Chain A
Amino acid sequence: MLALIAGTGDLPLALLARLPVRPLICAMDGFRPAITPDVTFRIEHLGSFLADLKTRGITEVCMAGAVKRPSIDPAAIDAATQPLVPRIADAIAKGDDGALRTIIAIFEEAGLAVKAAHEIAPDLLPDAGVLTRAPITFDHRQDAVLAEQTLTEMGRADLGQSCIVRGGRVLAREGQAGTDAMIARFGPESDPLWAAVDGIGTVLGKAAEWLSGADGEPSDARGAILFKGPKPDQDRRADLPVIGLQTAKDAVAAGFAGIVITYDGVMVLDLSAVIKTLDNAGLFLWVRPKGGA
């Protein structure tokens, strides 16, 4: 029997829709998944939670959706979790992939198999190719190469799964706040004040970029690509990158040229709506095979 440990976002719902039998829905206390959970747990009670899952006959778990790093209240740690405290503390100190690897190991040592979201919903991994009408140019291809290199470098430090690149320059790298926050920096259309000064801002921004050189803070990302992919050697059973309709809308709002995702490495929720949104705005979605040279 499966337990779905649901975070925020639409991925847990997408998985639920594909499962023939409703799994046990679990959520960490303080997070509100789109599905009402059957069980909530605190990280301080992880040991008890694992025992509870075993008691309920759970044999495998799937972690899906976004979860931020919880803070730990030492006073709340229960007896069953005490032996796990050093590992939990170690996990929280690591980057995302390192943390998830530790958590996965704890679940597996408790006798629970960890199932990847894309194993439940393989259709969320789209085929390779340009799925939209807008063509990709050689410049986009060059930017994709640079973006892939950038993600590789970020991945070695276990930081982020996306970046924004334009004209051979990395405009932004995903930080702890995630992809949406990174894109939000470039969404002037969403801000009326921005719209009012947009014209002047563009001119000033380009001048600032020119003056500040490659390391300056970019003013906008129009014509850029949003590149998203898993970290090198990432454990694919948790935190495989996801994009969805909101990502597409944000990309449109930011004026990107398109979205590039790594083939077999990024799940797309509501693919048809994503394609329609991008097509309507003239953006491309390129599912790009990794590497190539």
Chain B
Amino acid sequence: MTHIHPTAVIADGAQIGAGCKVGPFCVIGSDVVLAERVELKSHVVVDGDTHIGADTVIFPFAVIGEIPQDLKFDGQKTRLRIGARNRIREHVTMNTGTTQGGGETRIGDDGLFMAGCHIAHDAQIGDRVIVVNSSAIAGHCIIADDVIIGGLSGVHQWVRIGQGAIIGAVTMVTKDVVPHGLVQGPRGALDGLNLVGLKRKGVSRADITALRAAFQMLKDGEGTFQDRAHRLAEESDSTYVQEMVAFILGDTDRNFLTPG
């Protein structure tokens, strides 16, 4: 059964799914779609062309779907799509996209966005991503599945972070991070692999060994970083290594963090 607190302000046209709970002083815009069982605790603002997936819970003072913080934005109708079962904590802000950036900011399923973090326009966030308190993901970033971004960290615009990577706290990431990478330090050094994450995920020892060998080959093999990636593609048949290679050889607007 849907519960809407009498102090909530819901614009005409907003679609509220079955079983939703909209708490006190929430404000919901006319183009908003809440899927089943979405819960807005209280004082939550959801605006713009924003769809929120089932069972997502949004905590007080979060502002979801406001216009992008981009001087080029001129009122175009852009979107924010949020998947299912996300937990969006207090004071989180998530903006809609920009026309230049494709028009859509996208959040996957099962994410945890801790208090005070920001997801900027056109960011593409995968499934099961965790963004810890007060971290900021800048515009156009691509954050793949299972990434963890530590507290008080920043991700520069257009940066890609590969699947399963982990970013330490108080870290500024200005370059692409390979899948399963471990980045830490104030200026974001690639220090190794997220071995704990790989083990927790149940990745086989053989695949972890292959990834570690790949990482070391990327670090000290012959030729350029790209040369080493091409050689890896030829020599390793590990799926995980091939994913890493595909990431490195894929299109990007930024350089890579390379093993130090």
Let me know if A138 and B220 touch, CB within 8 A.
Answer: no
A293 to B206, CA, bound (A): 14
Let me know if B209 and A146 touch, CB within 8 A.
Answer: yes
Let me know if B193 and A293 touch, CB within 8 A.
Answer: yes
Identify which of B195, B231, B232, B236 gathers the most chain A CB atoms within 10 Å of its CB: B236
Q: Residue B192 contacts which of A137, A139, A289, A292 (CB distance < 8 angstroms)?
A: A292
Give the interface residue-count category, chain A.
10 to 19
Let me know if A141 and B216 touch, CB within 8 A.
Answer: yes
Chain B residue with Cβ nearest A139: B235
Q: Which residues of B contact A141 (CB under 8 A)?
A: 213-214, 216-217
Chain A residue with Cβ nearest B211: A293
Given known A-B contacts A146-B209, A291-B192, A292-B259, A138 and B216 have beta carbons under 8 A apart: no
Chain A residue with Cβ nearest B237: A138
Let me know if B236 and A145 touch, CB within 8 A.
Answer: no
Q: Which residues of A contact B193 (CB under 8 A)?
A: 293
Q: Which residues of A contact B156 (CB under 8 A)?
A: none
Let me know if B216 and A168 touch, CB within 8 A.
Answer: no
Chain B residue with Cβ nearest A144: B213
Let me know if A289 and B211 touch, CB within 8 A.
Answer: no
Q: Which residues of B contact A128 (CB under 8 A)?
A: 220
Let me know if B209 and A138 touch, CB within 8 A.
Answer: no
B256 nearest CB across to chain A (Å)? 15
Question: Does any Cβ of A come within 8 Å of B212's Cβ?
Answer: yes
Chain A residue with Cβ nearest B193: A293
Q: Which of A142-162 contact B (CB under 8 A)?
A: 142, 144-146, 149
CB 8 Å contact bits of B201-215 with A (1 = contact, 0 = none):
000001001111111
A276 to B231, CA, bound (A): 27
Given known A-B contacts A138-B232, A138-B235, A292 and B216 have beta carbons under 8 A apart: yes
B88 nearest CB across to chain A (Å)? 33
Let me know if B213 and A145 touch, CB within 8 A.
Answer: yes
Q: Which residues of B contact A289 (CB under 8 A)?
A: 216, 220
A291 to B215, CA, bound (A): 10
Let me know if A292 and B210 touch, CB within 8 A.
Answer: no
CB 8 Å contact bits of A17-45 with B (1 = contact, 0 = none):
00000000000000000000000000000
Let me know if B235 and A293 touch, CB within 8 A.
Answer: no
Q: Which residues of A contact B209 (CB under 8 A)?
A: 142, 145-146, 149, 168
Chain A residue with Cβ nearest B231: A138
Let me know if B235 and A145 touch, CB within 8 A.
Answer: no
Q: Which residues of B contact A129 (CB under 8 A)?
A: 220
Q: Which residues of B contact A293 (CB under 8 A)?
A: 192-193, 195, 211-212, 215-216, 219, 259
Q: Which residues of A contact B206 (CB under 8 A)?
A: 168
Q: Which residues of A contact B231 (CB under 8 A)?
A: 138
Given known A-B contacts A291-B192, A292-B192, A292-B259, A142 and B210 have beta carbons under 8 A apart: yes
A213 to B21, CA, bound (A): 57
Chain A residue with Cβ nearest B210: A142
Let me know if A145 and B216 touch, CB within 8 A.
Answer: yes
Chain A residue with Cβ nearest B192: A293
Q: Which of A177-234 contact B (CB under 8 A)?
A: none
Identify which of A128, A139, A141, A149 gathers the most chain B CB atoms within 10 Å of its CB: A141
Chain B residue with Cβ nearest A128: B220
A128 to B209, CA, bound (A): 21
Q: Residue A138 contacts which of B192, B217, B219, B259 (CB distance < 8 angstroms)?
A: B217
A269 to B30, CA, bound (A): 79
A289 to B260, CA, bound (A): 12
A291 to B212, CA, bound (A): 9
Q: Which residues of A contact B215 (CB under 8 A)?
A: 292-293
B204 nearest CB across to chain A (Å)? 11
A288 to B231, CA, bound (A): 19
Q: Which residues of B contact A139 (CB under 8 A)?
A: 235
Given known A-B contacts A145-B213, A168-B206, A168-B209, A292 and B236 have beta carbons under 8 A apart: no
Let me know if A142 and B192 touch, CB within 8 A.
Answer: no
A137 to B214, CA, bound (A): 11
A141 to B218, CA, bound (A): 11
A150 nearest CB across to chain B (Å)? 11
Closest 3 CB pairs of A and B: A138-B235, A141-B213, A293-B215
Cβ contacts A to B, 28 pairs, < 8 Å: A138-B231, A138-B232, A138-B235, A138-B236, A139-B235, A141-B214, A141-B216, A142-B213, A144-B216, A145-B209, A145-B213, A146-B209, A149-B209, A289-B216, A291-B192, A292-B192, A292-B212, A292-B215, A292-B216, A292-B219, A292-B220, A293-B192, A293-B193, A293-B195, A293-B212, A293-B215, A293-B219, A293-B259
Q: Please name 19 further chain A to chain B contacts, defined as beta carbons within 8 Å, in addition to the given A289-B220, A293-B219, sorted by A numbering.
A: A138-B232, A138-B235, A138-B236, A141-B213, A141-B214, A141-B217, A142-B210, A142-B213, A144-B216, A145-B209, A145-B212, A145-B216, A146-B209, A168-B206, A291-B192, A293-B192, A293-B211, A293-B212, A293-B215
